[in-house]
């Protein structure tokens, strides 16, 4: 079969709180075998919140792998059994305190498709009203408003 690999075996080599890693043996389309290391992740959601004055809300938070605080759009991991639509609304409220009047699905991204199963579902949020942030107890971030014009 063209453009397909068949899994012959899969061995879990690490299982953590956020992801699992497997070492898989596959058959390639030329009949040869190859190894694949796969990071299995439940997926996430990101939201591009646009304010009435034409700005985007970003969050700045420390990311340990990079050893620095980086600027991101609001995002988060999908919990087991959670719908990505609801996850995006939850994350937007938790991180920015914003609730949208308009909330539109704009697509799915595959950030590292060579070895990670994570899909990131993307939403656009407009008509924002604000209340308080609801950060997790181990979540520390700053909200930044940046003009797009």
| Residues with a known catalytic role | 137
Strand order in the sheet with 6-15: 6-15, 19-27, 33-41
Contact criterion met (CB below 8 Å) for 70 and 84: no
Contact criterion met (CB below 8 Å) for 73 and 50: no
Three-state secondary-structure class, residue 140: coil
Contact criterion met (CB below 8 Å) for 43 and 77: yes
């Amino acid at each position: 079969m063209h453009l397909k690999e068949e899994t012959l075996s899969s061995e879990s080599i690490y299982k953590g709180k956020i992801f699992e890693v497997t070492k898989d043996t596959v058959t390639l389309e030329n009949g040869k075998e190859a190894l694949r290391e796969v990071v299995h992740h439940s997926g996430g959601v990101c939201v591009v919140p646009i304010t009435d004055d034409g700005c985007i809300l970003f969050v700045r938070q420390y990311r340990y792998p990079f050893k620095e605080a980086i600027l991101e759009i609001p995002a988060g991991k999908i919990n087991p059994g959670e719908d990505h639509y609801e996850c995006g609304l939850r994350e937007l409220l938790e991180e920015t305190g914003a609730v949208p009047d308009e909330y539109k699905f704009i697509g799915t991204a595959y950030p590292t498709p060579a070895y990670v199963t994570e899909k990131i579902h993307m939403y656009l949020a407009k008509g924002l009203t604000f209340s308080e942030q609801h950060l997790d107890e181990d979540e520390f971030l700053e909200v930044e408003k940046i003009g797009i014009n």
